[in-house]
Amino acid sequence: MSSEEADIRDKMKGILEKVGNKRENLIPILQQIQEEFGYLLPDAMLEVARFLNIPEIDVYSVATFYNQFRLTPPGKHSVRVCMGTACHVKGGHITLAAWQRRLKIESGQTTPDREFDLDTVACVGCCAMAPVTVVDKKVQAKADPTRVDGILLQFQLQKEKEDKVTN
Amino acid sequence: MKESAQPVGTSIFDEIRKRAESHWENLWNDQKPVILVGTATCGRAAGALDVLQAVKEVVKNRNLECGIFEVGCLGHCYAEPLVIIRKPGYPSICYGHVTPVLAENLVANLILNNDPSLEFVLGALEANDLVPSFSDFPRAQYEKRIILRNCGRISPDEIEHYIAQGGYLSLVKALRMKPEEIVEEIKRSKLRGLGGAGFPAGEKWEVCRQSKGEPKYLICNGDEGDPGAFMDRAILESDPHSVLEGMIIAGHAIGARHGYIYVRAEYPLAVQKVQNAIRQAAELKFLGQNILGSDFSFDITLFQGSGAFVCGEATAMIASIEGKPGIPRHRPPRLATKGLFGKPTVLNNVKTLAYVPHIVKNGVEWFSQIGTEKSKGTAVFALAGKVVNTGLVEVPMGTTLRQLIFQVGGGITKGKRFKAVQIGGPSGGCLPEEALDIPIDFDSLQERGAMMGSGGMVVLDEDDCMVEMARYFLDFTQKESCGKCTLCRLGTKQMLDILEDITKGRGEMEDLETLEELAEDIKTGSLCGLGRTAPNPVLTTLKYFRDEYKAHIKERRCPALMCQSLMAYYILPEKCARGCDACVGTCTVEAISTDKKRRIKVIDQEKCVKCNTCMAACPPQYNAVVKLSPPDQVPKPK
């Protein structure tokens, strides 16, 4: 067993130890797994099925039904463009197009260098600040295409600084 | 359940209350100034956490003796971040649009130099001679804050603040009442479900109370999935205890032992505040075994939703809590007889439950005086879109849309013309100017083809295309349809395809009839509210804005200049300033260049992605960038 696998097993054990094996704990368990690893690993889902003593397909059906769960590894930074009504009338779709253009990926994908993952979110309830994008869990207000460039530039500068320190 | 002979919990609660009140008095009447920073999600989006940090630093660096608290949402979201400073001898002054630097100055000016910095004042919390107060605002005469009463004025993290405002007093009163009496009170009050459908809450409670089957469950629906709505988020973030108190009273009334509060995962801050509030309430014995010494026991579990709109539907929510995909089931059996885990269950919205303590405290007569004949009380709306004062408002039922948008909301931004107001999210509809004078209640809105929904209200102006709005909502419902009912699953997809064709200039006139037919079929053939109301945005726009559909189909033109396939950006040569290149620098795809011969800027239509950046960048004194529809209006380059 590699150290990575052992690490996953330990973390899974930590999550499952704290909850009972009732079916109704399925969603909270999956939420904790995603919180821990950033996505739902296939092995983790299998283990949950064993733990709750339910068919594997039941775990998979819940994991794919809800928008919150992702089955692929996330990027280092998460970008969630709000598609709510207020954001839409203030150009949310234009903001999304700007992210897609700059990151060169579609919504639901991760950049090849694993720096960013891009997705949409139905509404984060910040309608008064529309259009918004949630970047690394922080809500960015009035995120138009120029703001998108600004945010990306910030990350780029930060990365260059970090690279300089490590070199 | 045996009746309690002795007034329940009086001595325990009196002590808690005394402590909370003296804590509050110390805070507000002492010689120390108090600073409140609004850090609900809206505030944070505008930078409130940086402001909070700046306030903390200036207080520390200048050795100021004052209390700093994070509060929730005052409802003035347009002016976020908000800071309220109260200095003894001065009113509590609320400042808007505060930046970290400004915050430092405001604090130092008022507290050290007695200068209230009048130019940055938004309003004072109480009437006074120094600065205009919120009650002097024109909107104040229309507003009536009952469930938003504490929002933005108390710290959601401190249960003492809530108790000092009279919180949990209704719980004590309710614990002394027989459960049947509470049910009767709520029934007589005619409180209707504020989640949107408007079903009488008391009736649900009564059926559940009388149903056989133990244990019974109570669920609070905080899965505010409507895009464009944020009332429940603001209440949960700003005053979570009011919802918990309502839940405990409801639990007592229906005979439930266990309650769930279902909050969307997209609201991480609300989740955190509710979690904290549950912990605090349990510490003071408002939750748990033998609440305040009575024989009533009740627990609340927080359940985080996982981003599925359909889970706002009651039976889907129950499936979700049971750990299954959120797929609705047929009703009957009603939830009140067979709900969560097959047991009698009551499911109420956040706002409905937040109302319960007020009704228990002030009585049915008080409540009956507010609102209209059939819809009592107040309604909370989230104003967003093209309206000046975006934010949260609470008005009595029966207020007109015009009062709400123009008096409370301050009218349309940038002096544009009002076109429509979208109410009730994907289940609601778009109402035109003619409908502005109808008094808002559950029934009047339904008659017009819209619905109250949870209370999201998005104002649209002349720049918003109604066909595109209909397409947007269909896109949403089509994606969120759980797939159980064929007509909802496939019908919405068909409607979406047709609408997409129309917005791209590929529509035919017959499409409009097909849309209407499909809409009726989907309404009839769907099990739950999602499918039954999904066609509403299309039907209302077809009814009130048919001409716009016709322009898209017959002239391949978008009158609002919004549908990207049907419009183009163009720089008017006669208006373009020769030396300016604001647009060239900001263009995100380098589509704008200088025509050397004519010395003006020209957009390369092939490269242009229609992101609107050049239009926003062109200085207002030139205003040279225009949108044209259809795109062939743009003159061909010579």
Q: Are residues B337 and B418 in the same domain?
A: no
- pTM above the 0.95 mark? no
Does some domain include residue A30? yes
Identify the band that residue B6 occupies on the pLDDT scale cut at 50, 70 and 90: low
Interface membership of A115 toward B (CB under 8 Å): no
Gap between the Cα atoms of B588 and B293, Å rounded: 66
Q: Closest CB to B265: pick one of A68, A87, A127.
A: A68
Tell me how far the alpha carbon of residue B132 is from its chain's centroid: 27
Strand partners, B601: B594
Find, in chain B, the residue whose alpha carbon is nearest to that of A138.
B45
Interface membership of B229 toward A (CB under 8 Å): yes
Interface membership of A49 toward B (CB under 8 Å): no
Last residue of a domain, one of A17, A43, A65: A65
Contacts of A70 in chain B (CB under 8 A): none
The answer to whether B385 contacts A98, with C-beta atoms less than 8 Å apart, is: no
CATH code, domain carrying B447: 3.10.20.600
Percent helix, strand, coil in chain B, to 5, is 45, 15, 40
Find, in chain A, the residue whose alpha carbon is nearest to that of B482.
A65
Interface membership of B384 toward A (CB under 8 Å): yes
The answer to whether B588 contacts A146, with C-beta atoms less than 8 Å apart, is: yes
Task: Supply the pLDDT for residue B4.
Answer: 45
Q: B268-283 vs B231-238: helix axis angle to the nearest 10?
A: 40
Per-residue pLDDT of B586-602, as tens digits, reads 898 999 999 888 888 99
Does the structure show a pLDDT above 80 at B578? Answer: no
Structure tokens at B69: 């608290």
Does the structure show a pLDDT above 50 at A63? Answer: yes
Tell me how far the alpha carbon of residue A26 is from its chain's centroid: 19
Q: Are residues A162 and A92 in the same domain?
A: yes
The answer to whether A86 contacts B224, with C-beta atoms less than 8 Å apart, is: no
| Element (DSSP H or E) covering residue B460 | strand B456-461
Q: Are residues A106 and A149 in the same domain?
A: yes
Last residue of a domain, one of B554, B579, B610: B554
Q: Are residues A43 and A108 in the same domain?
A: no
Q: Are residues A19 and A91 in the same domain?
A: no
Does some domain include residue B273? yes
Q: Are residues B354 and B206 in the same domain?
A: yes
Gap between the Cα atoms of B85 and B124, Å rounded: 9
Contacts of A132 in chain B (CB under 8 A): 45
Looking at the complex, report in whole angstroms how far the Cα of residue B428 sits from the nearest Cα belonging to chain A.
12
Task: Supply the pLDDT for residue B178.
Answer: 96
Q: Are residues B310 and B442 in the same domain?
A: no
Q: Are residues B201 and B332 in the same domain?
A: yes
CATH code, domain carrying B14: 3.40.30.10
Structure tokens at B532: 């039954």
Task: Supply the pLDDT for residue B26.
Answer: 84
Identify the band that residue B2 occupies on the pLDDT scale cut at 50, 70 and 90: very low
Per-residue pLDDT of B459-496, as tens digits, reads 999 999 999 999 999 999 999 999 999 999 999 999 99
CATH code, domain carrying A31: 1.10.10
CATH code, domain carrying B612: 3.30.70.20
Task: Supply the pLDDT for residue B446.
Answer: 86
Gap between the Cα atoms of B422 and B459, Å rounded: 6
The answer to whether B227 contacts A83, with C-beta atoms less than 8 Å apart, is: yes
Does some domain include residue B174? no
> How confident is the prediction for chain B on average, in pLDDT?
93
Q: Into how many domains does chain B fold?
A: 5
How confident is the model over B561-584, as a mean pLDDT?
A: 91
Q: Are residues A92 and A15 in the same domain?
A: no
Does some domain include residue A140? yes
Q: What is the DSSP letter of B117?
A: -
Interface membership of B107 toward A (CB under 8 Å): no
Q: Are strands A77-82 and B92-95 parallel, antiparallel or unpaired?
A: unpaired
Token pair 């430092």 in the structure block, residue: B104
The answer to whether A129 contacts B304, with C-beta atoms less than 8 Å apart, is: no
Q: Are residues B270 and B348 in the same domain?
A: yes
Last residue of a domain, one of A18, A39, A65: A65
Query: CA dist B329 to B306, B333, B482, B484, B527, Å?
Result: 19, 10, 11, 9, 8
Q: Are residues A162 and A120 in the same domain?
A: yes
Does some domain include residue A70? no
Does some domain include residue B372? no
Print the domain residue range for B387: 378-461
Last residue of a domain, one of B530, B554, B578: B554
Does some domain include residue B340? yes
Interface membership of B224 toward A (CB under 8 Å): yes
Q: Are residues A88 and A148 in the same domain?
A: yes
Identify the band that residue B73 occupies on the pLDDT scale cut at 50, 70 and 90: very high
Q: Are residues A82 and A147 in the same domain?
A: yes
CATH code, domain carrying B545: 1.20.1440.230
Does some domain include residue B550? yes
Per-residue pLDDT of B295-317, as tens digits, reads 999 999 999 999 899 999 999 99
Last residue of a domain, one of B402, B431, B461: B461
φ, ψ at B222 (rounded to 5°) = -115, 30
| Element (DSSP H or E) covering residue B381 | strand B378-385
Interface membership of B306 toward A (CB under 8 Å): yes
Q: Are residues A48 and A94 in the same domain?
A: no
Handedness of CA A146, A147, A152, A153 (dihedral sign): positive
Q: Are residues B596 and B499 in the same domain?
A: no
Task: Supply the pLDDT for residue B197.
Answer: 80
Print the domain residue range for A47: 3-65
Interface membership of B80 toward A (CB under 8 Å): yes
Q: B546-554 vs B536-544: helix axis angle to the nearest 10?
A: 80
Does some domain include residue B156? no
Q: Are residues B47 and B133 in the same domain?
A: yes
Q: Which of residues 406-435 of B touch A (CB under 8 A)?
A: 422, 425
3-state SS of B502-563 is HHCCCCCCHHHHHHHHHHHHHHHHCCCHHHHHCCHHHHHHHHHCHHHHHHHHHCCCCCCCCC
Q: Are residues A49 and A81 in the same domain?
A: no
Task: Supply the pLDDT for residue B30.
Answer: 66
CATH code, domain carrying A109: 3.40.30.10
Task: Supply the pLDDT for residue B7.
Answer: 64
Task: Supply the pLDDT for residue B29.
Answer: 74
Identify the band that residue B32 occupies on the pLDDT scale cut at 50, 70 and 90: confident
Does some domain include residue B229? yes
Identify the band that residue A137 occupies on the pLDDT scale cut at 50, 70 and 90: confident
Q: Closest CB to A85: pick one of B45, B228, B323.
A: B228
Structure tokens at B88: 């003894």
Gap between the Cα atoms of A87 and B92, Å rounded: 33
Does some domain include residue A72? no
Contacts of B482 in chain A (CB under 8 A): 65
Tell me how far the alpha carbon of residue B335 is from its chain's centroid: 26
Does some domain include residue A19? yes
Q: Are residues B225 and B306 in the same domain?
A: yes
Looking at the complex, report in whole angstroms how far the Cα of residue A59 sits from the nearest Cα belonging to chain B.
9
The answer to whether B480 contacts A122, with C-beta atoms less than 8 Å apart, is: yes
Query: CA dist B45 to A92, A133, B68, B163, B629, Å?
Result: 16, 10, 20, 29, 35
Q: Are residues B438 and B473 in the same domain?
A: no
Looking at the complex, report in whole angstroms how far the Cα of residue B493 sits from the nearest Cα belonging to chain A.
18
Tally of residues, chain B: 638
Gap between the Cα atoms of A159 and B198, Å rounded: 52
Contacts of B78 in chain A (CB under 8 A): 128
Q: Are residues A57 and A91 in the same domain?
A: no
CB B321 within 8 A of CB B328: no
The answer to whether B233 contacts A125, with C-beta atoms less than 8 Å apart, is: yes
Q: Are residues B577 and B544 in the same domain?
A: no
Contacts of A107 in chain B (CB under 8 A): none
Pairs across A and B, CB distance < 8 A: 159
CB atoms < 10 A from the CB of A42, how many? 10
Q: Into how many domains does chain A fold?
A: 2
Gap between the Cα atoms of A70 and A81, Å rounded: 16
Structure tokens at B294: 């009575």
Task: Supply the pLDDT for residue A2.
Answer: 78
What residues contact B30, with CB distance under 8 A and at least 6 apart?
A: B88
Contacts of B414 in chain A (CB under 8 A): none
Does some domain include residue A151? yes
Does the structure show a pLDDT above 60 at B375? Answer: yes
Does some domain include residue B88? yes
Task: Supply the pLDDT for residue B498.
Answer: 98
Contacts of A140 in chain B (CB under 8 A): 45
Task: Supply the pLDDT for residue A1.
Answer: 61
What residues contact B371, with CB distance under 8 A and at least 6 apart?
A: B377, B378, B396, B397, B398, B441
Q: Which of residues 241-280 of B touch A (CB under 8 A)?
A: 265-268
Q: Are strands A116-121 and B391-396 parallel, antiparallel or unpaired?
A: unpaired
Per-residue pLDDT of A118-131, as tens digits, reads 999 988 878 878 89
How confident is the model over B527-548, as a mean pLDDT?
A: 95
Q: Closest CB to A67: pick one of B233, B307, B609.
A: B307
- Under DSSP, is residue B486 helix (H, G, I), strand (E, B) or coil? helix
Q: Are residues A7 and A45 in the same domain?
A: yes
Helical H runs in B224-267?
A: 231-238, 240-254
Q: Are residues B608 and B496 in the same domain?
A: no
Structure tokens at A159: 């990365």
Structure tokens at B350: 């956040």
Looking at the complex, report in whole angstroms how far the Cα of residue B569 sits from the nearest Cα belonging to chain A.
14
CATH code, domain carrying B320: 3.40.50.11540
Gap between the Cα atoms of B386 and B186, Å rounded: 37
Contacts of B41 in chain A (CB under 8 A): 124-126, 139
Q: Are residues B441 and B470 in the same domain?
A: no
Structure tokens at B623: 């205003």
Does the structure show a pLDDT above 90 at A5? Answer: no
Identify the band that residue B638 occupies on the pLDDT scale cut at 50, 70 and 90: low
Q: Closest CB to A98: pick one of B306, B391, B588.
A: B588
Interface membership of B385 toward A (CB under 8 Å): yes
Interface membership of A65 toward B (CB under 8 Å): yes
Interface membership of B309 toward A (CB under 8 Å): yes
Last residue of a domain, one of A65, A87, A105: A65
